[in-house]
Every structure is written in C-alpha cells, then in structure tokens.
C-alpha cells in the first residue's frame, strides 16, 4: 500500500518536473529547433489528465479503482509518447535529445513499475528484484522502439 502511494507521488512529481522543464510533450524535430511555447492547451491538458488520474488514485481506498486508473494513465501516457512526442530526431544528425530520452525513460520506468505493482501475481512481477529487472528492460525496449521506429511525432500539434 505505501509502496504504491510512493510510486504514485513519484509519478505526479516526475510529471510536474517534465511540465516545468518542457520535456513532457515536446514537438522538437528536424535541423532547426525553435523555442516552444510553455503554456499550450495540449501540455496543460496532458498535465491535468495525468495529475487527475493519479490524484484520484491517492484519494481512493478501492484497489480496483486505483488499478484501473493507474493502468489507464499509463496507456494514455504511452499513446502520447508514441503519437505526439517529438525530440527523438533533432539537430543536423537527427539524433535523440538526451534530456528528452532520459526523462521519457524515467517516466516509463516509474509508470511501468506503478502499473506492475498491481500484477504481482504474474511470475515476472512476483518479487521486487524481478519487477525492477523486467521494468528496466521493458522501459528500455519501449524507448528504443520510440527512438528507432517512431522518432518523429505521428501527429503534429
């Protein structure tokens, strides 16, 4: 119970950090990089949705509701990562922005660990060591797929 609360607070904090440093929903791509607007409707909407879902998880005593909200928030975040997120083909070499990639890896790690904490009955999540190893590998695999297959945003905002 306390572990899940800490993971939810960590996800909320990391989402706020991403918003403040403009790493959460960057549209950067290509050779010439222009400064992005800080307060866009999309960034604010994403922040509100994530914090609302995770905030309700903190307030809810019902584990079933918490599980559904955590998994839903992870699904929404993953869809935004694949469809809307830029920063993976930047500059003259078209290489990923290290700050964006690091932020996304940490955010994925926190969210997969958080969602996985509700599935401890599965073999690969039944011990903390396995959970951390599987979460690390899954997060790394998703970032590699994002960087190599979906480097540019599929939908431009």
- What pLDDT, in 10s, does the model give residues 130-143? 888 889 999 999 99
What is the band of 89 on the pLDDT scale with cuts at 50, 70, 90? confident
Q: Pick from 25, 150, 11: which is nearest to 82 by CA?
A: 150
Contact (CB, 8 A) for 142 and 78: yes
* DSSP 8-state class, residue 77: H
Percentage of the chain beyond pLDDT 70 is: 92
Q: Is residue 153 part of a domain?
A: no
Confidence (pLDDT) at 20: 93
Residue 48: band (very low, low, confident or very high) from pLDDT cuts 50, 70, 90: very high
**124: in domain:** yes
SS3 90: strand
Task: Name the residue range of residue 89's domain.
Answer: 2-148
**pLDDT for 31-42, tens place per residue?**
766 667 778 888
Q: Are the beta carbons of 12 and 55 closer than 8 angstroms?
A: yes
Q: Does the residue 36 lie in any domain?
A: yes
In a domain, 58, yes or no: yes
**115 lies in a domain?**
yes
Rounded distance between C-alpha atoms, residue 55 and residue 97, angstroms: 30
Residue 155 lies in a domain: no
C-alpha distances in Å from residue 91, one per residue of 22, 67, 155, 157: 17, 40, 20, 20
Q: Could you give the 3-state DSSP secondary structure of residue 36? A: coil
According to the model, what pLDDT value does residue 88 have?
82
Q: Which residues pair with 30 in a beta bridge?
A: 90
Half-sphere exposure of 143 (CA within 13 A, CB side): 22
**pLDDT tens, 50-75?**
999 999 999 999 999 999 999 999 99
Chain-wide mean pLDDT for the chain? 87
Considering its fold, how many domains does the chain have in total? 1
Contact 114, 7 (CB under 8 A): yes
pTM: 0.90
pLDDT at site 124: 67
More confident position, 114 or 34: 114
Residue 1 pLDDT more than 70?
no
- Is 14 a domain residue? yes
Give how far Cα 55 sits from Cα of 8, 9, 50, 52, 124, Å.
Answer: 8, 9, 8, 5, 28
Domain contains 10? yes
Q: Summarize the confidence of residues 86-107 as an average pLDDT.
A: 85
């Amino acid at each position: 119970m306390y572990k899940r609360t800490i993971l939810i607070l960590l996800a909320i904090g990391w989402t706020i950090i991403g918003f403040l440093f403009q790493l959460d929903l960057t549209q950067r791509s290509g050779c010439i990089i222009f400064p992005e607007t800080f307060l866009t409707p999309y960034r604010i909407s994403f922040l509100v949705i994530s914090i609302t879902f995770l905030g309700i998880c903190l307030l809810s005593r019902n584990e079933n509701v918490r599980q559904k909200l955590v998994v839903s928030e992870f699904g929404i975040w993953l869809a935004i990562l694949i469809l809307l997120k830029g920063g993976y083909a930047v500059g003259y070499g078209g290489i990923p922005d290290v700050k964006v990639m690091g932020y996304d890896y940490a955010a994925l790690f926190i969210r997969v660990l958080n969602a996985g904490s509700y599935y401890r009955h599965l073999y690969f999540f039944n011990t903390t060591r396995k959970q951390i190893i599987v979460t690390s590998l899954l997060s790394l695999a998703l970032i590699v797929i994002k960087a190599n297959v979906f480097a540019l945003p599929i939908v431009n905002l």
